[in-house]
Structure 1
Amino acid sequence: MTESGDVAASRPSAAALRRWRQYLADERAEAAVYRDLARHRGGEEREILLSLAEAEGRHEAHWLALLGDEAGKPRRPDLRTRLLLLLARRFGSVFVLALAQRAEARSPYEEDADATSAMAADERIHEEVVRGLAARGRQRLSGTFRAAVFGANDGLVSNLSLVMGVSASGIANHFVLLTGLAGLLAGALSMGAGEYVSVRSQRELLEASTPDPDTQDVLPALDIDANELALLYRARGMDPDVAEARANEVLGQVAPQLHPPVVEGADAADEHEAIGTGWGAALSSFCFFASGAVIPVLPYLFGLEGLRAVVVAAVLVGLALLATGATVGLLSGASPLRRGLRQLAIGYGAAAVTYLLGLLLGTGTA
């Protein structure tokens, strides 16, 4: 009885076996996610993603070793990981990387005694690696995409507020429709013009601050004793002694370089890419503001009136606000549901205020 009791005590519990099998399935799926993402990329990013897949393979081997003959048939990964795998195979975009970042952040290994400390540490590092890869994609999207998302959100909120306020005042349906269309056009033009001016101004400021590469042609003619090149480096933020030493070094080289980086990682081309183009930002802002602003007008375009039109407009805009908020949440690595609900609360709050004002003004004029 003692021997059989020892065997029973050494055998993992059914709950532990289920947990290990789920971990095994999830690790296999996560490795597949990184391999699929790697298929859509090249160079360094591809190598990083394949290395992450290899690390997940080591974790898979740990659970296989614990399970031994109890591994059983392959299990399905959890719902989140299955969704991530599907998106990685179809798209391979920054949205998938943002979701993968959140998945790595939810790793249970730190609280699970059956996982090693190295595995828990791996998952924490994986989160930061994926965060870095996602940041590259966010940077590429930040200019035009920022204008698009905020343009759509502004169109939704501002025109819903306008339409609800005017409708609450009790004026005729065709006046509400005309007001909504006028708000759409005026807001879209204003947003487009504002984005164009903003982005163009940023690019012009950046261009004005970028060193002129042709200036290096005058280096051979500089007076070494006066060494005015040191003034250039001091103007860029170097200490006087460091600037003097750097200038002496440059003037002593056969092929001098005039543009040593003052700030690590600073690169004018990358900054231009992050800002985007003026016309791109203006066009996306115009189109997305208009696409958002037309939604509150749709019920009136289809002939709905009164409270029914207000309710339908509010529901349609609410769904759109949830979508834009969730999109921003995905890109930022935050909870899509929380960001969506925040957008919804802000939009409905603004619309409620204007609706109440419309009721008060309509009552006063009656």
Structure 2
Amino acid sequence: MNPPATPTPSDRRRWARYLVEERAERRVYERLAERREGEEREILLSLAEAERRHEQHWLELLGEEPARLPKAGLSSRVLGWMAGRFGSIFVLALAQSAEARSPYDAEIYATPAMRADEKVHYEVVRGLAARGRRRLSGSFRAAVFGANDGLVSNLALVIGIGATGASSAFVLFSGIAGLLAGALSMGAGEFVSVRSQRELLAATEADGAAELRAGDLDIDENELALVYRARGDDETQSLERARRVVAAAKAGARRAATGPVRTHGVGVAEVVGSDWGAAASSFLLFASGAIIPVLPWIFGLEGATAVILALVLVSVALLTTGAAVGILSGGPPLQRALRQLAIGLGAALITYGLGLIFGVDVA
């Protein structure tokens, strides 16, 4: 459909709105590019340049810069503010949703190239967001799991204890004990898990073949390469590694100059991380969630007031973490938030019912 020869005032107002939105999107990509380097920076700057071309299209239609321009939409302004202050993955996830809602498909004054650009932008931003999600998946999963575990388990504990008719002091003691017990359990479990994994990798990758001396046996490079191929190296890497070991052995060295124990070229510590660091982060993440249900009793509230406030605080926290998961995963934030809320409150409801059934008067 061809645009009418004479645009209406409504058309011009719409062009002005498109202009400010394109400028806002350009600034988002430019600010994100400032926080990145290499290929990702170049991609983001290319997106910004495309948005600049779109700006120019609307400026040409308007004839000149309008004396008064409307404000960009709230979501665009929030996105621009976040782009300069937070990690790019969260902003990219929001930008992905924004790019999916292009108005140009139904806009007769937009060029076919602009419509195609918007579709390409969505795919590019989705690809960048996917990169960030892969980098973030392990640590983010651990953070959400730790905090939610603390939220849900301690809420269920204090609600269940409170339903028995126990005193506020006993509920508070139970909540603090649950926090410490859960956080210590999480930290100890993470420490043992990471330490065991480090020891397993070290034992698996310990290069006993590199301890060979020239006098021990007639070392054949091809035979020795089979050792490394069995450990997962490819044929070229295995042969090169075997040659270094043989050369070192023939020179009388006790070990080849290959440095510390490594797993496919990456140090064990780099693969699994620090055991103490993992333990501390698990402890703190669990504790940060577990303290929230106990806050009403810490501040001296009791009875139904404390229970209701605890439910409200935990509900807000569950909705927040659920929405964050939804945004970062590219899924609907509201659906993820409500799912988190249903799981947390469902667990609390079960323990509350048990507390009513087995209620006792604890002085």
Bin of the TM-score, shorter chain as denominator length: 0.7 to 0.9
Match of 1:301 in 2: 298
> What stretches of structure 2 of length at least 5 have no aligned partner?
245-262
Q: Tell me if 1:51 matches 2:46.
A: yes
Where does residue 56 of structure 2 map in the other structure? 61
Give runs of aligned pairs for residues 1-366 of structure 1, distance below 5 A. Answer: 9-68=4-63, 73-202=68-197, 229=225, 236=232, 269=266, 276-362=273-359
The 1-side partners of 2:164 and 2:207 are apart by 60
Indicate how the Cα distance of structure 1 residues 11 and 312 shifts in structure 2: closer, same or farther if over 3 A, else same: same
Amino acid at match of 2:327: L
Which letter maps to 1:170? G
Shift of 1:12: 2.4
Question: Is the 1:161–1:350 contact (alpha carbons within 8 Å) kept by the matching residues of 2?
Answer: yes
Equivalent position SS for 1:362? coil
Q: CA deviation at 1:15?
A: 3.7
Q: Distance in 1 between matches of 2:102 and 2:46?
A: 18
Q: Aligned in 2, Cα 1:135/1:275: closer, same or farther, shift over 3 Å?
A: farther
In 2, Cα distance between the equivalents of 1:18 and 1:267?
Answer: 60
Q: What CA distance in whole angstroms lies between the structure 2 residues aligned with 1:49 and 1:205?
A: 41
Cα distance between partner residues in 1 of 2:122 and 2:206: 37
Whole-angstrom CA distance in 1 between matches of 2:172 and 2:74: 44
The offset of 1:125, in angstroms, is 2.9
Inter-partner Cα distance in structure 1 for 2:87 and 2:271:
21
Using structure 2 for the length normalisation, give the TM-score. Answer: 0.77
Give deviations 1:195-234, integer Å, cap 9, x for gaps: 233344555566667696986x99xx8758x777578658
The corresponding residue for 2:256 is none
Once residues 305 and 79 of structure 2 are traced to their aligned partners in structure 1, the CA distance between those partners, rounded to angstroms, is 39
Deviates more, 1:121-130 or 1:73-82: 121-130
TM-score w.r.t. the length of structure 1 is 0.77
Residue type of the partner of 2:17?
Q
RMSD of aligned C-alpha atoms?
4.0
* Residues 243-268 of structure 1 deviation map (CA, whole Å, 9 limit, x = unaligned): 7xx799979x99xxxxxxxxxxx976
Amino acid at match of 1:163: V
* Most deviating of 109-118 and 293-302: 109-118
Q: Secondary structure at the match of 2:69?
A: coil
1:166–1:54 Cα change, 3 Å? same
The aligned amino acid for 2:350 is V
Q: CA shift at 1:348, angstroms?
A: 0.9
**Can you give the 5+ residue segments of structure 1 that lack an aligned partner in the other structure?**
1-7, 255-265
Shift of 1:35: 1.0
Question: What CA distance in whole angstroms lies between the structure 2 residues aligned with 1:159 and 1:186?
Answer: 10
Corresponding residue for residue 247 of structure 2: none
Q: Report SS of the residue matched to 2:331.
A: coil
- Give me the whole-angstrom Cα distance separating, in 2, the residues matched to 1:43 and 1:234: 35
Larger mean CA deviation between 339-348 and 114-123 belongs to 114-123
Contact 1:139 / 1:274 at 8 angstroms: preserved in 2? no
Q: Deviations over 1:26-65 (max 9, x none)?
A: 1111111111122223333322221111111122223333
State the secondary structure of the residue aligned to 2:358: helix
The AA in structure 2 aligned to 1:360 is I
Cα gap change, 1:235 to 1:287, in 2 (>3 Å): closer
Q: CA separation of 1:267/1:25 partners in 2, compared to 1, >3 Å: closer, same or farther?
A: farther
Residue identity over aligned pairs, in percent, reads 58
Q: Secondary structure at the match of 2:359?
A: helix
